[in-house]
Chain A
Amino acid sequence: MTTSTSEPAPQMRAVLEAEDIQRALTRIAHEVLERNRGSDALVLLGIPTRGVPLAHRLAERIGSVEGAHVPCGSLDITMYRDDLRLKPARGLERTELPPEGIDDAVVVLVDDVLYSGRTIRAALDALGDLGRPRAVQLAVLVDRGHRELPIRADYVGKNLPTSQRETVRVMLHELDGRDAVLLSNGERP
């Protein structure tokens, strides 16, 4: 779970530092290539907010390994959330598909934290309205467990066993000025 509070609470400790995140993304890039035997027909879609810069970083790494351009975009899932009616309506984020579209592509969804799995469920619904990919895979920087739906990630940066009282916060250079994954010690800030 990430929160939009700008300052990390004092009781949060870093479980991944900048170099760990770099290494994890490089490894995931290679795993994606290995599993799909190259970058043909790959499309990376980041889920806002923090999945988007992660998707761009992954696309760049995959591209530089293969020497090819990997299409990359973003997929806003707000309108497909199952908890829409539990909270006040909120503004939408960008959905930007690469011009190639997603029909017949292998779409890799990219998000920062995998938790209940509900975001990914919503993302699958959203994808279904946008086209028909040949396959959909999921890459996450952190898998913190506590799934509420039968969903799993294909590529995981770090498995992070947590208690549900803890808070996981991903900070990325593009949005937060630094790269880190922070974990609270159980007291909600």
Chain B
Amino acid sequence: MITHLLSAADLTRDDALLVLDTADELALVADRPVKKLPTLRGRTVVNLFFEDSTRTRISFEAAAKRLSADVINFSAKGSSVSKGETLKDTALTLEAMGADAVVIRHGASGAPHTLAHSGWINGSVINAGDGTHEHPTQALLDAFTMRRHLGSLEGRRVTIVGDVLHSRVARSNVLLLATLGAEVTLVAPPTLLPVGVEQWPCAQSYDLDGALVGADAVMMLRVQLERMNAAFFPSAREYSRRYGLDADRMATLPEHAIVMHPGPMNRGLEITAQVADSPRSVIVEQVTNGVSVRMAVLYLLLGGSASALGQATDVVEDVAS
């Protein structure tokens, strides 16, 4: 049984499909007059954000509130962390306040893992992005968005382009998409591919134009200027020429292909405004879907006496009365 969601690799195919199917149902809540379910009433979800975030934090907050959980938002800026408090002491404080789940974003890869396995807290830990490591709920919402447009992901071709080296989104997506049977190609300049990438369950290429042919979905990654402490490419102009998605490149994609971006975008660098605002772009929809997917994750981890993820597939006596 999985009580924490730390990595997209923790999810089996059945788990991932359960999350996506549950999110499909929960997406309907957004169309109802009362956009709220009583399921997590009395439970407390803490958003523990050591790094800046707009959509992930708001998305988790909206998801928890739609399930009637109490939400405590904690951001490192303006808290005792800026006075030098350690992760451990922060965690003990949250535990003392009775957090049932901690959604953590941290600049250090592995911080959610430490929090989950340290014994400092009893609740579920959900990784909302750790350093350059993983961002599993982003991968789930991306898979959810692709599934809505393309149907089953089995055998679908997904091209992920850009700063793979610094991208937790790319790593989680590769792992989850491989679990779901999609064929992933990473495209980046050699300097922006991590060491050991040839062991990931995906193909790699340095040539964007070749990788766009026959792709069902193209995911553009943000160039993470804030993590770049060395010269990874000669100039922004050259990067954008070789690895940016513009209207001409988009025109070479198959008719049904969708364009994705996890946000926030550097318009004009990895993606042109024309592409970002085109009808093929599902970037805004990704944000909407994020709420449904995070509701599904919170429900499946916290809704019952035990998590529904990582169960053997049989189970569940259906008691109608």
User: Shortest distance in angstroms between A138's beta carbon and chain B's nearest beta carbon?
Assistant: 13
User: Shortest distance in angstroms between A127's beta carbon and chain B's nearest beta carbon?
Assistant: 11
- Look across to chain A and name the residue whose beta carbon is closest to the beta carbon of B18: A91
A94 within 8 A of B: yes
Contact A91 B308 (CB under 8 A): yes
A116 to B321, CA, bound (A): 6
How many positions in chain A have a CB within 8 Å of any CB in the partner chain? 37
CB proximity to B under 8 Å, residues A14-67: 47, 49-51
B25 within 8 A of A: yes
List B contacts of A93 (CB < 8 A): 25
List A contacts of B315 (CB < 8 A): 88
A113 to B320, CA, bound (A): 7
A44 to B241, CA, bound (A): 59
Contact A95 B28 (CB under 8 A): yes
B39 within 8 A of A: yes
A79 within 8 A of B: yes
List B contacts of A117 (CB < 8 A): 321
A51 to B302, CA, bound (A): 28
A50 to B318, CA, bound (A): 11
The verdict on A2 contacting B316 (CB below 8 Å), with A86-B305, A88-B305 known, is: no
B304 within 8 A of A: yes
List B contacts of A111 (CB < 8 A): 320
Please tell me which one of the listed residues B22, B26, B304, B319 contacts residue A88 in the complex, with CB atoms under 8 A apart: B304
The verdict on A125 contacting B320 (CB below 8 Å), with A89-B303, A91-B18, A91-B22 known, is: no
The verdict on A84 contacting B320 (CB below 8 Å), with A89-B300, A92-B26 known, is: no
A115 to B319, CA, bound (A): 10
- Look across to chain A and name the residue whose beta carbon is closest to the beta carbon of B36: A129
The verdict on A89 contacting B308 (CB below 8 Å), with A95-B25, A131-B33 known, is: yes
User: Shortest distance in angstroms between A5's beta carbon and chain B's nearest beta carbon?
Assistant: 8
Contact A94 B320 (CB under 8 A): no
Please tell me which one of the listed residues B34, B300, B302, B306 contacts residue A129 in the complex, with CB atoms under 8 A apart: B34
Please tell me which one of the listed residues A49, A76, A116, A129 contacts residue B32 in the complex, with CB atoms under 8 A apart: A129
List A contacts of B32 (CB < 8 A): 129-130
User: Shortest distance in angstroms between A183's beta carbon and chain B's nearest beta carbon?
Assistant: 15
The verdict on A87 contacting B304 (CB below 8 Å), with A1-B320, A94-B25, A118-B321 known, is: yes
Contact B320 A89 (CB under 8 A): no
Contact B321 A4 (CB under 8 A): no
Tell me the A residues contacting B by CB distance below 8 Å. Answer: 1-4, 47, 49-51, 76, 79-80, 84-95, 111-119, 125, 128-131
A2-B320, A129-B34, A130-B33 are known contacts; what are 14 more A-B pairs with Cβ within 8 Å? A4-B318, A51-B320, A76-B25, A79-B299, A85-B303, A86-B305, A87-B304, A87-B305, A89-B300, A89-B301, A93-B25, A94-B25, A116-B321, A129-B32
